[in-house]
């Protein structure tokens, strides 16, 4: 900073007194200037900043800078009001949770059945935790055998004690009466399972014409169709053997051909076919006839015991050769029958798993 009252010493040309102060006057001004300088000099040469204040010094310019590094401004947020922006500032809360004020100033918990732990001073007036625990019962923890237990109205075990035994039963078994039930696994003397299996009817399903009253318990089975008026059915025959006749409720009438059949009149074997070249003779008809225009072939498969099969040539346009499976005129395997002229024919019967010729006219066997 500038210092006022400085004394100026006049200095003229070298070695000349004109324009210069006398030596006495010059020394006096010098003394005055020093006195003025020391009188105005600062007694402080070190500046230290405390909390919130920082200082810096520039030795070139001689400037010391003091800066506020703490709170520089106070702004009121949600639910807060302030008394001013500087000096002594009072900060107040004008709202509770979510910005709305409340009136509760103290919270406490009391219980006659639970243990309540709060702060040492009692109720919570600002913040803290209230601890609520179940009360402990002395000498209850442990393992018990056949225990006798007392439970209060809150579901808590208040007393428990061992018992000497539970009952006197030492073995459990099941028995059945009647049929349809199977029991296994008994008797049980310590621990185990007794298995019960239904071996009788397990389910009823209504078929055609049947109605069931239910699926379990006592079930009534009824017919849903109206019955007729026939009360008896019989079969009679003068040439066949009939047994189990008549049927008056349910049953089967057996009709069989007798071992020996006496035939009066003519016996006709119906059923015939026109056997084409390259075809297999049918086993469902008795007679197979053929007309040839060129040499032809056919086959005959194995028959059934007692079956009769006949062949005959109607028109001769070439030989017909029929290959026969299980030929009776061969020791094994197949054989052939050759038809060469109109009217050639033969009758075969299947006996003992082979075809045997029981009559023929003009055919050749090989």
pLDDT tier at 1 (50, 70, 90 boundaries)? low
Domains, in order of start, for the chain: 1-45 (no CATH), 272-365 (2.60.120)
- Residue 357 · residue 330 · CB < 8 Å: no
Average pLDDT over residues 78-84: 80
pTM over 0.95: no
Question: What digits encode the pLDDT tens for the residues 177-225?
Answer: 777 788 888 888 888 888 888 777 777 788 877 888 887 778 888 877 6
Q: What's the pLDDT at 226?
A: 66
The 10s digit of each residue's pLDDT in 8-64 is: 767 667 767 777 777 788 788 888 877 777 776 666 667 777 787 888 878 787 687
Per-residue CA distances from 262 to 190, 239, 255 (Å): 80, 8, 17
Q: Given this model, what pLDDT does residue 131 score?
A: 79
Tokens linked to 42: 């600062």
Contact between 235 and 253 under an 8 Å Cβ cutoff? The reply is: yes
| Percentage of residues in the chain having pLDDT higher than 70 | 83
* Better pLDDT: 135 or 90: 90
Cis peptide before 246 (omega within 30 of 0): yes
- Contact call for residues 55 and 67 (beta carbons, < 8 A): yes
Q: What is the pLDDT of residues 279-317, one digit of tens each?
A: 999 999 999 999 999 999 999 999 999 999 999 999 999
């Amino acid at each position: 900073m500038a210092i006022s009252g400085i004394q100026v010493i006049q200095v003229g040309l070298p070695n000349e007194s004109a324009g210069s102060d006398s030596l006495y006057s010059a020394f006096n001004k010098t003394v005055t200037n020093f006195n003025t300088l020391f009188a105005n000099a600062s007694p402080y040469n070190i500046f230290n900043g405390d909390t919130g204040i920082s200082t810096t010094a520039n030795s070139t310019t001689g400037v010391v800078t003091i800066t506020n590094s703490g709170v520089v401004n106070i702004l009121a947020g949600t639910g807060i009001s302030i008394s001013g922006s500087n000096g002594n500032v009072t900060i107040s809360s004008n709202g509770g949770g979510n910005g709305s004020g409340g009136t509760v100033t103290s919270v406490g918990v009391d219980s006659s059945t639970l243990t309540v732990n709060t702060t040492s001073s009692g109720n919570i007036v600002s913040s803290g935790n209230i601890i609520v625990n179940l009360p402990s019962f002395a000498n209850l923890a442990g393992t018990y055998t056949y225990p006798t237990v007392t439970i209060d109205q809150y579901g808590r075990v208040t007393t428990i004690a061992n018992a000497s035994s539970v009952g006197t039963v030492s073995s459990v078994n099941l028995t059945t009466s009647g049929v349809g039930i199977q029991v296994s696994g008994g008797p049980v003397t310590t621990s185990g399972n007794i298995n019960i299996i239904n071996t009788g009817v397990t389910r009823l399903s209504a078929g055609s014409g049947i109605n069931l009253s239910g699926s379990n318990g006592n079930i009534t089975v009824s017919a849903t169709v109206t019955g007729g008026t026939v009360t008896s059915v019989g079969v009679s025959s003068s040439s066949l053997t009939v047994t189990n006749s008549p049927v008056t409720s349910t049953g089967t009438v057996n009709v069989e051909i007798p071992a020996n059949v006496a035939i009066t009149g003519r016996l006709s074997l119906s059923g015939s076919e026109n056997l084409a070249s390259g075809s297999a003779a049918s086993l469902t008809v008795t007679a197979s006839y053929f007309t040839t225009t060129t040499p032809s072939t056919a086959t005959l498969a194995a028959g059934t015991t007692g079956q009769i099969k006949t062949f005959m040539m109607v028109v001769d346009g070439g030989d017909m050769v029929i290959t026969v499976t299980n030929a009776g005129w061969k020791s094994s395997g197949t054989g052939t029958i050759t038809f060469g002229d109109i009217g050639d024919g033969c009758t075969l019967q299947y006996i003992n798993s082979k075809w045997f010729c029981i009559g023929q006219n003009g055919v050749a066997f090989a």
